[in-house]
Amino acid sequence: MSTALLRMGIRGRRLIQFRFCSSLTTRQNSYYEHYDSGTRNLIDEFTTYCYQRNLERAMKTLNVMQRGKVFADSITYSELIKCCIASRAIAHGKRIHKHVFSGGYEPKSFLINNLLNMYVKFGLLDEAQALFDEMPERNVVAWTTMISAYAADSELKDKALEFLTLMVRDGVIPNMYTFSSVLRACQGPGILRQIHCSIIKVGLESDVYVRSSLIDAYSRWGESDNALCVFNEMVTGDLVVWNSIIGGFAQNCDGDTALCLYKQMKGAGFVTDQSTLTSVLGACTGLALLELGRQVHVHVLKYDHDLILNNALLDMYCKCGSLDDASCIFTHMDEKDVISWSTMIMGMAQNGFSRKALDLFEEMKDSGIKPNYITILGVLFACSHAGFVEDGQYHFRSMKKLFGINPGREHYGCMVDLLGRAGKLDEAVKLIHEMECEPDAVTWRALLGACRVHREMDLAAYAANKIIKHDPYDAGTYTLLSNIYAKSQRWQEASMVRNAMKNKGIKKEPGCSWIEVNKCIHTFIVGENSHPQISNIIRELKQIIWGLKEVGYVPDTDFVMQDLEGEQMEDSLQYHSEKLAIVFGIMSLSSGQTIRIRKNLRICGDCHVFAKLLAKMESRSIVIRDPIRYHHFQDGFCSCGDYW
Q: Is the whole model's pTM more than 0.85, yes or no?
A: no
User: Side chain identity at 201, as an amino acid letter?
Assistant: K
113 and 79 Cβ atoms separated by less than 8 Å: no
Q: In which band, very low, low, confident or very high, does the pLDDT at 5 lie, cut at 50, 70 and 90?
A: very low
Interacting residues of 195 by C-beta distance below 8 A, sequence separation 6+: 164, 179, 182, 183, 186
What are the tens digits of pLDDT across the range 56-90?
999 999 999 988 888 998 999 999 999 999 999 99
Q: What pLDDT score does 236 carry? A: 57
Across 573-596, average pLDDT: 90
Q: In which band, very low, low, confident or very high, does the pLDDT at 572 lie, cut at 50, 70 and 90?
A: low
Pairing of strands 595-599, 512-517: antiparallel
The length of the chain is 644
What are the tens digits of pLDDT across the range 366-411?
999 999 999 999 999 999 989 999 999 999 999 999 999 999 999 9
φ, ψ dihedrals at 511, nearest 5°: -65, 135
d(CA 610, CA 579): 8
Q: Which of 233-242, 261-270, 389-398 has the lowest mean pLDDT?
A: 233-242
Q: What pLDDT score does 10 carry? A: 37
User: Side chain identity at 599, as an amino acid letter?
Assistant: K
Q: Considering only CA atoms, which of 539, 547, 558, 515 is closest in space to residue 613?
A: 547
Burial class (CB in 10 A: 0-12, 13-18, 19+), 574: middle
First to last CA, the chain: 68
Q: Considering only CA atoms, which of 259, 262, 214 is closest in space to residue 239?
A: 262
Q: What pLDDT score does 58 carry? A: 92
Q: Which of 186-195, 247-256, 418-427 has the lowest mean pLDDT?
A: 247-256
Residue 22 has pLDDT above 70, yes or no: no
d(CA 635, CA 619): 7
Top pLDDT among 273 and 9 is at 273
Q: Which is it for the CA torsion 430, 435, 438, 440, positive or negative? A: negative
Q: What pLDDT score does 33 carry? A: 61
Q: What pLDDT score does 326 carry? A: 95
Q: Which of 138-142, 364-368, 498-502 has the lowest mean pLDDT?
A: 498-502
Whole-number average pLDDT of the chain: 85
Across 11-36, average pLDDT: 48
d(CA 73, CA 437): 51
Residue 145 has pLDDT above 90, yes or no: yes
Q: In which band, very low, low, confident or very high, does the pLDDT at 213 lie, cut at 50, 70 and 90?
A: confident
Residue 206 has pLDDT above 90, yes or no: no
Share of the chain above pLDDT 90, in %: 48
d(CA 482, CA 50): 71
SS3 26: helix
Top pLDDT among 323 and 592 is at 323
What are the tens digits of pLDDT across the range 514-557?
998 887 889 999 878 889 999 999 999 999 999 999 888 887 76
Q: What pLDDT score does 246 carry? A: 79
Share of the chain above pLDDT 70, in %: 91
Q: What pLDDT score does 484 carry? A: 80
SS3 189: helix
Q: At what angle do helices 239-252 and 224-232 cross, to 10 degrees?
A: 170
What are the tens digits of pLDDT across the range 598-634?
998 889 888 999 999 999 999 999 999 988 889 999 9
Angle at 483 between CA 478 and CA 488, to 5 degrees: 135
Top pLDDT among 90 and 251 is at 90
